[in-house]
Structure 1
């Protein structure tokens, strides 16, 4: 698991005083950097070999300004050419949102998915989501 803690900004709130739901997918994307670095260690866009195929977000509880938030990032599933990144957003020890991003290991020259090398699978395996810890 990878973890990132941050404080939401006042501008992240909406008219109801909650954290605006549109922020969560953006925060999740930023917290995926440690996974991206497994594939592209220097995050050089010219070497990029991943594409986003799908995202989903489920909201479990309200989020508010003034309290730190933590994003927990896991590998949810590893396939031959794609994998899932599973993420949770916590505030005050409450899971407020969760989501999954489906990533494809992709060759931009051929415009086709490519096999995930075993070395990368081995690096991702320690970060697999453990259903027993959920």
Structure 2
């Protein structure tokens, strides 16, 4: 069981390199997502890095879109799943959003819907496919 989970905003290039390595491992290698889809909108996103006992464990980002604030690219390395890293990432991102951020949403892989529901998100609309994986749009209630 991990002793200490820390989530921080990743702004330095070395931190961003780790964020990208985590996402590459989870999405491109493990889930077989096309690499070109994984790296869209990097320059307009706010990135986060989670560590467990000082070891890189997870990553995510948020960005402003025409629809509102989109949370995305939540990735936790296999070794660190089930310890609360994902929940800490979501909490950190929600805390980082601008005061009064209105519409907050994400596209959840279908298997992760219950996880996001526990954090106050609700499904919105039908199931859809993105990068060959089934998803639901979810909105913060």
TM-score, normalised via structure 2 length: 0.29
Structure with more helix by fraction: 2
Specify which structure has the bigger relative contact order, considering alpha-carbon pairs within 8 angstroms and separated by 6 or more residues: 1
Which protein shows a greater Rg? 1
